[in-house]
Amino acid sequence: MAEIEEVVIHKSMRLHTLEELPFDNSYARLPDAFYAKLSPTPFSDPPYLVSFNSAAAALIDLDPEEAKRPEFAGVFGGSLLVPGMEPLAMLYSGHQFGVYVPQLGDGRAILLGEVRNERGERWDLQLKGAGLTPFSRDGDGRAVLRSTIREYLCSEAMHGLGIPTSRTLCIVGSDHQVYREQVETGAIVLRMAPSHIRFGTFEVFYYRKQHEQLKVLADYVIAHHYPHLIDAVDKYARFFDELVERTAKLIAQWQAVGWAHGVMNTDNMSILGITLDYGPFGFMDDYDPGFICNHSDHNGRYAFNQQPYIGLWNLSCLAQALLPLVTKEELKAALDCYTPLHQTRYSELMRLKLGLEDAQPEDESLVNDLLALMCQSQADYTNVFRALGDFQSLQGAQNEGIRDFFVDRGTFEKWAARYSNRLRKHRSSDADRRERMNRINPKYVLRNYLAQIAIEKAQEKEFSKIDRLLALLQNPYSEQPGMNDYAAPPPNWGKQLAVSCSS
């Protein structure tokens, strides 16, 4: 297997070249107990660029022209390092499907370092699929083209929807063979986040009774990601308060767009309250509150309607790990705020999805009764809410196009009459409401079948479908000419796709 080289090519540009990326690797300055330093393992076959995301490149001031260089695939395909990189695999543990696992860590991900952009923002550059690490356990350290495409597209789709998330810069592929349910080709996705620290990073030091390291970690997180708390006497408690709020509101956003994470283990929960780790996930097609997107989740622990509760459960696990730093009473008080915070944000989002700008007592039943009708009719979640933007509130309006989503048309018409009365209280025009609703109800989401089509084409080394989907999903609220097919419900084969943890 080829040895990793260090590329040193000097080039003066306004934007950064690969070699000029300004690394500031604060995490590597932490004690050795936090990570294992090692380099990525190159593929056995030459790497090549599959897709490049210029929007993510802008976050680190990287010149998009760099993607055309042959060295680009080498650097982000794990075979080349540039000055400033200090690759390492991060240690953490976590509760997986409710069971504590004492040591996990980056089993197939390697943090290359942290780039600080001109705005002072830090971005972790992490290769997923970069080979074995000391934390790989029985894994091979690799990712497959299929899973990298899904993560690449979904993280950008979530950002396009306005949901806090990690980002992705590129996919680098190879003919290197990887064994999953079948033989597939290997690939690496370069993912970016202000931090990849997880709930489980705190848990590992708590359960090892390494409380000094726990304090070092908490101080690091606060200094770099919650700096307004540095001088607070109760900074650890206030940090947890803020994380509870961020997590509650994040999961409300997931619920409002009909998205399920699939593996909400504590090691996949971000200490920043952003969406992290895209393994099995799914946007609902037909509305089903019990939607399970991970076919390995046999008991439905991470079903769509369980996500709010699991968010609280995971925060409770983190609270346990923070007991050496925060009193039990302070932690409980923060956890008690979770459900009201989540419900308030979710209710607000659902009112906005119906075009309602103020809160009225009947709004909760209006939303719940619509969802019940959608479930009964197996109506498409995304398309129903988008179509409601065209709802005519004038008395006597038929709204046939929307009514056709529902099997029980009589019950829908009764609901529509209530909705129409509620809209008329607003005294805003239907046109104004439609504009507002189209800013919160997306036209396009990353349906599993769309990702699968792009994956199958990519496996034939035809990558244009990935780039087309990427551009579409970065602007999901606007009507895009010639792209109506991408808003269509899935064909029958597309409703039966199995997505597992290897995805």
What residues are annotated to the active site?
Answer: 267
Is 418 within 8 Å of 393 (Cβ atoms)? Answer: no
Q: Which of 66, 52, 51 lies closest to 15, judged by CA? A: 66
Q: Which of 379, 361, 358 lies closest to 370, judged by CA? A: 379
Structure tokens at 113: 């370092």
- Count the alpha carbons within 13 Å of 40 in the hemisphere toward its beta carbon: 33
Task: Report how far apart, in Å, the C-alpha atoms of 9 and of each of 71, 116, 340, 431 are.
Answer: 10, 20, 54, 56
Contacts of 485 (CB under 8 A, 6+ apart): none
Rounded to an integer, what distance in angstroms lies between the CA atom of residue 460 and that of residue 416?
A: 48
Structure tokens at 301: 């622990």
Q: Strand runs (DSSP E) across 196-244, as ranges?
A: none
Bridge partners, residue 178, by sequence: 184
> What size, in residues, is the chain?
503
DSSP string, 302-321: T-GGGHHHHHHHHHHHHHHH
Structure tokens at 269: 């929960």
Whose tokens are 């260089």? That residue is: 69
Task: Report how far apart, in Å, the C-alpha atoms of 357 and of each of 351, 383, 386, 423, 433 are.
Answer: 7, 21, 17, 10, 9
Task: Report how far apart, in Å, the C-alpha atoms of 152 and of each of 56, 70, 172, 252, 399 are.
Answer: 11, 21, 11, 23, 38
Task: Report how far apart, in Å, the C-alpha atoms of 202 and of each of 90, 262, 323, 492 are.
Answer: 12, 22, 11, 44
Q: Which of 404, 474, 410, 494 lies closest to 152, judged by CA? A: 474
- Provide the sign of the torsion angle of the four alpha carbons 497, 95, 160, 355, taken in this order: positive
Structure tokens at 68: 């055309």
Whose tokens are 């996500």? That residue is: 307
Neighbours of 71 (CB within 10 A): 17
Is 448 within 8 Å of 499 (Cβ atoms)? Answer: yes
Structure tokens at 125: 């550059």
Structure tokens at 158: 């979530």
